[in-house]
Structure 1
Amino acid sequence: MKHGNRMRQRAALLLAMLAMLPGCAALLPRQVGIDRRLAALPRDGLALDRPVTIRWNDHLVPWIEAESDADLAFSLGLVHGHLRGAQIALLRMVARGRLAEIAGPLAADIDHALRILDFGRAAPAIEAAWPAETRAFVERFVAGLNHAVLRGPRPPEYGLLGLGREPFTTADILAIGRLAGTDINWLGYFSLLAERGTPGFARRWQRMLEAGAGTTVPANLEQAALGALLQGLSRSGSNAVAIAPSRSASGAAMLASDPHLGLSLPNLWMLVGMRSPSFHLVGLMVPGLPIIGLGRNPDVAWGGTNLRAASSDLFDVTALPAEALSDSEVTIRQRLWFAARRRVRVSPQGPVISDAAVVPGRPGERIALRWAGHEPADEITALLKAARARSGAEFRDSFSGFAVSPQNMLWAARDGSIGRVTAALLPSRAGFPQADPVLDATDPAATRPWRQPWDARDLPRLENPPEGVLASANENPALWAKEPPPIGYFFSDGDRVARLRALALAKPKLTPADLAAMQTDTVAPKAAALAAGLLARLEAMPGGAPEPALLAPLRGWDGDYAAESRAALVFEVILARLVPALQPEGGGRGPETGWNFLTTFLLRDLDALPPPRREAVLRAAVAEATPLASRYGTWGEVHRLRAAHWLVNLPVLGRLFVLDTFPVGGSRETPMKSGHGLVSGPHEVSFGSMARQVSDMADPDANWFTLFGGQDGWLGSAAFADQVPLWRERRGIRMPLRPETVVAEFPRVTVLRP
C-alpha cells in the first residue's frame, strides 16, 4: 500500500511538472513599470457612449470619472480585467468547480465537492428578479471585464495554469459572489460528519458549543485543500469601529474597518475611486464583482465584519424516497488526463453533500446542505443601493435583500449618526440542536424555518449608542444585542471586540491616527489572564515554579504580541507543549488550538487533573519548552509574515513565488490579527488583517486605505507588492472625494473614448 501511495505521488508530481512547462513566463516574470502597465490597457473598440477619464496615482489605483452609470460600469470592468484578470479567472475556476482543468486528477474530488455546492445555483433566479438598473450595471461591468480579458495582454499565469481567454457571464459573476459568501461553519460541519455516533462525540460536541467555536480537523487531504480554498477566499474575519462625533476630535463621525482574509498576493480586494451621475465614492472591491464592499461616499462611510452566522443547516435525507431527489451527472475535465464523471444529487433540502468523497459520513447516510446562498437573494442590488445611500437610514435599509456572507455592517454618517445592521438571510429558527448538528428532513419543525427566513429587517440593529462607540469583531451578538434570535453556533472570542472598545473609550477624543493605531494593536487581554493563571499554578507546586529564568518575562505580561516581545514567545511555546497533554482520553479533540477553546478549557482542564498529574503535566511542558525558547529571542523571530503570490501553493516550484518574509506582531485574536496554531518553531502567517480603511466624515478627502500587497495582480508589476511597506509602516493611501484633490493626487491620466 505504501509503495502504491508513493507511485501515485510521483505520478501526480510528474503531471504537475509537465503542466507547468508552458508557463515559464510566470516563473521568471519581466519587471514592468507603472507607465508600461497603463500603456497596456486595451483602449480600442470600447463600447462607451461618452469619453471616460481614469486618473491613476503612483500605486496604480484608479479614480474613474464617467458621464453615465453605464460607462462607469464598463470602465470598472475594464480596470478589473486589466489589473486582476488572472485572479478573476481563477476565482471562476473555483466557483465553477473546474480546478482539475488546472491541476489534473489531483483536483477531481475537490471539483466534485464544488459542483455539489454549486455556487451558481441561484444565478438564474437572481438574474430574473434583478431591477433594470442592476441588470444594466452588471451587464456593462461584464462587457468591460470581457474587453480587457479578450483583448488585453495575456497574464503570465495563463500558460502555467493552462488557462485560455474565456469570456465571463453575469452568472459567473454571481457564482464568484456566492463563493466569497461561503458559510464559515461548513468546515466544522464537514469534519464532524464521520464522527457522529462514535464514542465521545456527544462530549466533544458539547465542548464545541460551550467554547462557541467549531473545530476543523480535516478527514483527508482533499478536505484540507477544500477548507483552505474556502477559508482563504471567503470573508470570514474582520474588525470595524464606528465613532460618534462626541468622541471625535474633528467633531464628526469616523469609521475604521480592516477585513481579515487569506494573506496571499494579489490581495482579495482592490482599491477604486469613482464618480458618475449616481455614484460618487471610494473603497474596496472584490476583483470580478461590481460592488464596493467597504468604503465611503460624501454622506456615509461603512465597513463590516463576518457575522459568523449559521447560514446553513445539515439535513439527514436518508429516509426521503429516491424520487424526492434529482439525480444528474457532471463531467469534470482533467488536465493531461481523461474527463471524469461524477454524480450530483439534490434533495428538497439542498444538495447531497455526503456524495462528495472529501466529506465522508457514516455508511448509508445521505446528508444534504441547506444554504442561504442557494436562495435567490440579491447582494449586488443591496450593495449598489448602499453605495448611493445619502444617510445612515438609507444605508441600513439597503440590506433587506442581502443574504451571504452574513455581515455586521457598521456605518458612520455625515449627519453624525453611527449604527450597525445585521445583513443576512437566516432561517427563523427557534433554537439549535444540542445533541447533533444534523436535522431530520422528515421533521416539519426542522424544515419550517427555511420557509419564512429572517433578513436585515428582522435581525438585531443598533444605532447611536450613548457611549458613542460601536465595535465589531465577529463576536456573539449576545454581547451587544438584547435577546438576539438564534444566529449561530460559533463566534470569535470576545477578546478582540473588548480590546477595540477599550481603546476607543480610553481617550475622550479620537483622531484618524488613533483609529489607525487601533488596527495595528497587538494586545490579547485574555492571553495575559491565561499566562497569569499558568504562573499561579506553577508557583503553587511544591518547590515553586521550575525554570524561573524562562518564566520571568510572563510576570506582569499584558498580553502584547509585539514582534519584539519575549513573553509572547515563551507563552506560546509553553502552550504548544501543554495543550496536547490535556487531550481527553480516548483520542478526543480536547482543548483545541483555537483561542475559544484555550480561553474556555485550558485552566479548567488543568484544575480537573489530580494534583500529581497536574504537576507532572506542567513541569513537562515547561521543561520541553525551555530548549525551544532558548533558540529564539522574540515572538517575531518565529512568527513570520510571508509576502507571496498564490502560486506559492504549486508543488516543487512554489517557493519561486515568495517575495519576502518578515517578523510580524499579533496573534489569533489580537486586533491586528495574524492567525497561527500551536507554536513549535518558526511558522508563517497565512490569515489575518490584509486591508485597512479609516474615514473621518469631517472631510470628504479624509479617507485612507492600504492593501497588504498592491493594486496590480500582474506578476512583475511595480504595483504588485508596493503597498507592503505602507502596510508594515502603518501608513495609508489617501482616497479623496473632492475633484480638485483627485486631480492633484492622481496625476496620470487615461482617457477612454468610444
Structure 2
Amino acid sequence: MPAAAVLDVGLAGGAGVARRIRWGRGAALLLAALAMLPGCAALAPRPTGIDQRLAALPKDGLALHRPVSIRWNDHLVPWIEAESDADLAFALGLVHGHLRGAQVALLRMVARGRLSEIAGPLARDIDHALRILDFGRAAPKIERRWPPETRAFVERFAAGLNHAVLHGPRPREFGLLGLRPEPFTTADILAIGRLAGTDINWLSYFSLLAERGTPGFARRWGRMLEAGAGTAVPGGGEQAALGALLQGLSRSGSNAVAIAPSRSASGAAMLASDPHLGMSLPNLWMLAGMRSPSFHLVGLMVPGLPIIGLGRNRDVAWGGTNLRAASSDLFDVSRLPPEAFSETEVTIRQRLWFSATRRLRVTPQGPVVTDSPVVPGRPGEAIALRWAGQEPADEITALLRAARARSGAEFRDSFSGFAVSPQNMLWAARDGSIGRVTAAVLPARAGFPQEDPVLDARDPAATGPWQRLRDARDLPRLENPPEGVLASANENPTLWTKDPPPIGTFFSDGDRVARLRAMALAKPRLTPADLAAMQADTVAPKAAALAAGLLARLEALPGGAPDPALLAPLRGWDGDYAEASRAALVFELLLARLVPALEVESGSRGPETGWNFLTTFLLRDLDALPPARREAVLREAVAAVAPAAARYRNWGEVHRLRAAHWLVNLPVLGRLFVLGSYPVGGSRETPMKSGHGLVTGPHEVSFGSMARQVSDMADPDANWFTLFGGQDGWLGSAAFADQVPLWRERRGIRMPLRPATVAAEFPRVTVLRP
C-alpha cells in the first residue's frame, strides 16, 4: 500500500476536527506544491503589530449614518460605541470580518457543504453529507418571521462583514486554500449559527445505523443507554471525519456556575462560565464590548454571528452549557410512498477536479441521511433525520433580547424562541437573583426507544411529538436555590430537577458538576478569584474512586499486587490530574491497557472509551470475568504499563497542549503552523476539561476549556475573559496567540462597562466615519 498523508479540512474546531481523510502521498505533495505558489505569505507570515493591524482596517466608503468610535486594548479587543443600533451592528460586522475573515469564510464552507472547493475530491462525500444535513434549510422561514429590529441588526451586521471581506486585506490562508472573497448573506449567517448548534447525538446515532439488527447490537445499545453516553465513531475514514468536524465546531461542552449574594464576598451575585470546544487557533470565540441606544454589554461572540453567546450587561451576566438534549430523531422512511419524497440534484464543485452531482431526498420526517456514503445504513433502508434545527426557531432574536435584558426574569423569557444547540443557560442578576433556564426546542415525547434508536415514520405515536414542540416556557427552570449555588456541566437534568420531561439519553458523567458544586459550597463566601480557581481545577472525583477500585482488585490477587512500586502513587490518590501528578499518569496508562482487553471479554462492539463507560462498566466488566482470566488481564496490564511508566515522570510530560493554527494538519507544510507545546493538567471530566482518549504515551489535547469568563455583579467593571489563543485570526499578528500565557497562568482580560474605565484600558481609538 502507498504511504499515506493526512489532510485536515477542518477549522478552528481543534486538531481533531474533520480529522483525517487519507490519501496518497503523491497527491498530498502535488496539492502542497500547488498551494505554495499563491500561499507563500501564509507559510512565512511577517510579524504584524497591533498598530499595523488597526491601520489595515478598511475605513473608506463605510455605510454608516453617524461616526462610530472603536477603542482597542493591547490584545486587539474592540470596544465599540455607536449612536445607533444599526451603526453598532455594521461596526461589529466590520470587526468580525477584519479580525476573523478567513475563519468566517471557512465556517460558511462547512455550513454550506463546500469543502471540496478547498480539498478537491477528498471532501466530496463529506460535502454530500453536509448538503443533506442542510444547515441553512430553515433560513427562509426564519428570515420571514424576524422582528423588524432583528432583521435590521443582522442585515447591517452582514453589510459590515462584507465591507471588511471585500475591501480589506485578503487573509493569508486564502492563497493556500484557493479561496476568493465573496459576500455573505443573512442566510449564510443563519447557516453558520445552525452549524454551531449541531446535535452532538448525531455522532452516536450515525455510528450505529449499519449495525442495527446484527448480533451484539442490542447489547451495545443497552450499554450505551445504561452509561448515558454514545460511543465514538470507530476507526478513521470519512464518517469519523464528519463526526470530528461537527463535534469540534458545535457548542458541545462547557461549565457554568452562578453564585447568590449570600455566598459572595462582594454581597452581589456572580457568574463564571467556560465553554469547551476544539483547542486549535484561532479560537472559536472572540471578545467584544459595545454600547448603543439598546445595547451596553461585553462578552464572547462566535465569529460571523451578531450575538453575544456568553457575557454581561449592566444588569445580568450569563453563561451556558450544552444540554446534550436529543433535539433529533431518526426515522425509517423506507416504506413511505414515493410521493412522500422530494428529490433535488446538487452540484459539488471540486478544487483541481471536475464538478460532481449528488442526489438529495427530503421527506416529511427530514432529509434522508443514508443517501450519503458517510452515513451508511442497512441495505435497502432509508433513514431520515428530523432535527429541531430544521424548524424556524430564532436563536439570534433570543440572544439579542437576552443582551438587552434588565432582570433575570427578562433574560429567562428571552429564550422562548431558542432551539439549537439546546442549552442550560445560567444567569446572575444585579438584583441578587440567580437562575437557570432550559433553552431548547424539543418534541413533546413520552419517552425514548429502548430497543432501537430508529423510529417508524408510519407510526403516528413516533411522528406525533413533532407536531407539538416544547420550548423554554415548558421545560425545567430553577431560580434562587436555598443553598445559593447553581452549577451546570452537561449533566443529566435529573440531577437538579425532579421528573423532567424526556430530554435526552446521553449526558456528561456528572463528575464535573459534582466537583463544581463541592468547591462552591466549601467556602462561606466566594470571590471572583475563587471562581477563576474553580475553572482551573483538575480534580475528577470518580477517577479517585475508580483508581481505588482497581488497586483493591490488584492487591487481592494471589501474592498481592504486582509491581508495588509502580502502583504506589495510586494509594490515596484524590483524582487530581495536576501536571506534576505521577498517579494520574499511572492510572491512565493502566486504563489504556485494561479497556481494550475488556472490550473483547465483555463482548462490547466499538470503542467504549468515554468516561461514562469507564465509570459504569470498567470494574463491573472486570468482576464478571472468571477469576483466572481476571488475574491474567490485571497482571498483563500492569506488566504492559511498566515500560511507559519508567519512561515518563508525570502527567504533564505526556498530556500536552499544542498552540497551533488549524493549518497544522496540512500535509508536509503543517509543522510551520505550530507555535508551541506545553504540559497541561486536567482530563476528560475535570472542571478544566482537557479531553483525550486512551493514553499510551505523549498525546495532544484536542478538546477542552478554551475560553473563560468571570463576572461579579457588584461592579460593572468586574468582568474578566480569556481566550486560549488570541483575538486576531491574522497569521503573524501580535494578537494571534498573545492570550496563551494568560490562559496558562489563569489570568484574565478585564472587560469593563463604565465609560471612564473603558477609555483608560482601551487606549487606542479608531473613528469610523460615514
**Shared topology, TM-score over 0.5?**
yes
Q: How far, CA to CA, are the matches of 1:645 and 1:288 in structure 2?
A: 19
Worse-matched range after superposition: 642-651 or 173-182: 642-651
CA shift digits 1:327-353 (9 cap, x unpaired): 111000000100000110001100000
User: For the Cα contact (< 8 Å) 1:285–1:293, is it kept in 2?
Assistant: yes
- C-alpha distance in structure 2 between counterparts of 1:153 and 1:5, whole Å: 36
Match of 1:280 in 2: 296
**2-side partners of 1:209 and 1:15: how far apart?**
46
- Determine helix, strand or coil for the equivalent of 1:226: helix
Q: How far is the alpha carbon of 1:589 from its aligned partner?
A: 2.7
User: Which residue identity is paired with 1:574?
Assistant: L
2:585 is aligned, of 562, 569, 583, to 569
Deviations 1:126-169 (A, max 9, x none): 00000000000000000000000000001100100111010000
Partner-residue secondary structure (3-state), 1:242:
strand
Task: Name 1:719's counterpart in structure 2.
Answer: 735
Any residues of structure 2 matched to 1:301-380 within 5 Å, and which?
301-380=317-396
Kindly report which structure 2 residues correspond to 1:483-522, keeping only aligned pairs within 5 A, or say none: 483-522=499-538
Equivalent residue, structure 2, for 1:744: 760
In structure 1, the residue corresponding to 2:309 is in which secondary structure? strand
Counterpart for residue 14 of structure 2: none
Paired residue for 1:66, among 82, 85, 95?
82
Cα deviation code 1:598-634 (max 9, x no counterpart): 0000001111111111111111111110111110000
Contact 1:304/1:410 (<8 A) preserved:
yes
Contact 2:234/2:606 (8 A) holds in 1: no
Alignment-derived partner of residue 615 in structure 1 = 631
Q: Secondary structure at the match of 1:583?
A: helix
> Matched residues in 2 for 1:43 and 1:33: separation?
19
Deviations 1:426-464 (A, max 9, x none): 011000000000000000000000011100000000000
Please say if residues 495 and 669 of structure 1, whose CA atoms lie closer than 8 Å, have aligned partners that are also in contact.
yes
CA contact (8 A) 2:2 2:25 kept: no
Q: Which amino acid aligns with 2:432?
A: G
Letter in 2 for 1:583: E
Cα gap change, 1:707/1:233 in structure 2, threshold over 3 Å: closer, same or farther? same
Cα deviation per residue 1:464-505 (whole Å; 9 max; x = unaligned)?
Answer: 000000000000000001100111110000100000000000
Shift of the 427–738 alpha-carbon distance from structure 1 to 2, 3 Å rule, reads same
- State yes or no: 1:188 paired with 2:207: no
Q: Does 1:174 align with 2:178?
A: no
Tell me the equivalent position of 1:678. 694
The 5-angstrom pairing of residues 92-491 of structure 1 reads 92-218=108-234, 221-491=237-507
The verdict on how the C-alpha distance between 1:210 and 1:679 changes in structure 2, with shifts beyond 3 A counting, is: same
What does the per-residue CA deviation read over 1:150-189, in whole Å, with 9 as the maximum and x for residues that have no partner? 0000110010011101000000000000000000001101
Deviation string, structure 1 residues 674-710 (Cα, Å, up to 9, x no partner): 0000001000001000000000000000000000000
What's the secondary structure of 2:442's corresponding residue?
coil
Contact 1:561–1:667 (8 Å) recurs in 2: yes
Q: Counterparts of 1:573 and 1:420 in 2: how far apart (Å)? A: 39
Report deviation, 1:583. 1.2
Matched, 1:641 2:681: no
TM norm structure 2: 0.97
Query: Structure 2 unaligned runs (5+)?
Result: 6-21
Letter in 2 for 1:485: P
Q: Shift in Å at residue 10 of structure 1?
A: 3.8
Shift of 1:217: 2.1
Which secondary structure does the structure 2 equivalent of 1:706 belong to?
strand
TM-score, scaled to structure 1: 0.99
CA separation of 1:712/1:3 partners in 2, compared to 1, >3 Å: closer, same or farther?
Answer: closer
Aligned to 2:107: 91
Preserved contact between residue 589 and residue 696 of structure 2 (Cα < 8 Å): yes
Runs (5+) with no aligned partner, structure 1: none
Shift of 1:4: 12
| Alpha-carbon offset, residue 13 of structure 1 | 1.6
Counterpart Cα distance in 2 of 1:323 and 1:95 = 29
The verdict on how the C-alpha distance between 1:643 and 1:5 changes in structure 2, with shifts beyond 3 A counting, is: closer
- In structure 1, how many angstroms separate the alpha carbons of the residues matched to 2:549 and 2:240? 34
2:3 and 2:25 in contact (8 A); partners too: no
Deviations 1:206-231 (A, max 9, x none): 00000000002247501111111101
- TM-superposed deviation, 1:588: 3.1
* Conserved? CA contact 2:231–2:606, under 8 Å: no
For the residue of structure 2 that corresponds to 1:292, the secondary structure is coil
User: Relative to structure 1, is the Cα distance of residues 228 and 15 closer, same or farther in structure 2, using a 3 angstrom cutoff?
Assistant: farther
Query: Residue by residue, what CA displacement relative to the aligned partner does 1:549-606 show, whole Å, maximum 9, x if unpaired?
Result: 0011110000000001000000000111111111145963377111000000000111
Query: Do 2:86 and 2:152's aligned partners in 1 also have CA atoms closer than 8 Å?
Result: yes
| Number of residue-to-residue matches in the alignment | 753
**Distance in 1 (alpha carbons) for counterparts of 2:110 and 2:44:** 25
Is the CA contact (8 Å cut-off) linking 1:303 and 1:410 kept in structure 2?
yes
Checking the alignment, whether the CA contact within 8 Å between 1:113 and 1:356 is kept in structure 2 is yes
Mapped to 1, the partners of 2:746 and 2:223 lie a distance apart of 39
Aligned alpha-carbon RMSD (Å): 1.3
Residues 12 and 225 (structure 1), Cα distance of their counterparts in 2 relative to 1, 3 Å cut: farther
